[in-house]
Amino acid sequence: MKTIALVAHDNRKRDLIEWVEFNKETLLKHKLVCTGTTGRMVEAALTQNISLSGRKPDIRILRSGPLGGDQQLGALICEGEVDMLFFLWDPMQPQPHDVDVKALLRISSLYNVPTAINRSSADYLISSELFDSEYKPKLKNFSEYLNRSLDI
């Protein structure tokens, strides 16, 4: 079981929900963590017709992105608690929390977390044979940076 982060900007939420509905059975096998509004929408999509699948989603909803949810998610990535990130961001709209968005994408790259930023990359990632198998990304050793001289 993996922990999967799901995030979408306002203009991309509908795309993410369609993708979640299409991949419902796969996603229900994993723990999900989402930012605010996206999380409530994902939860609603996954609990719709729950009697058909018989599974309840294991979902943690953080704060809304502009209210600190992106930073909360970044902290979870730093702690090794997120296995992959699906972040459908809107490249056409300025975001009030643009620096947080950039920081989240930077952290996912720094910690080598597989990250999908659009529907195509989300489809490739979820259909990978590695998706449901044990996989530990190779992390860069930052000891040289952490132990650098602090001559002031």
> Which residues are part of the catalytic machinery?
70
Residues 6+ apart with CB under 8 A from 127: none
Q: What are the distances in angstroms from CA 64 to CA 8, 22, 38, 117, 133? A: 11, 24, 8, 18, 31
Sequence-distant (≥ 6) Cβ neighbours of residue 51 within 8 angstroms: none
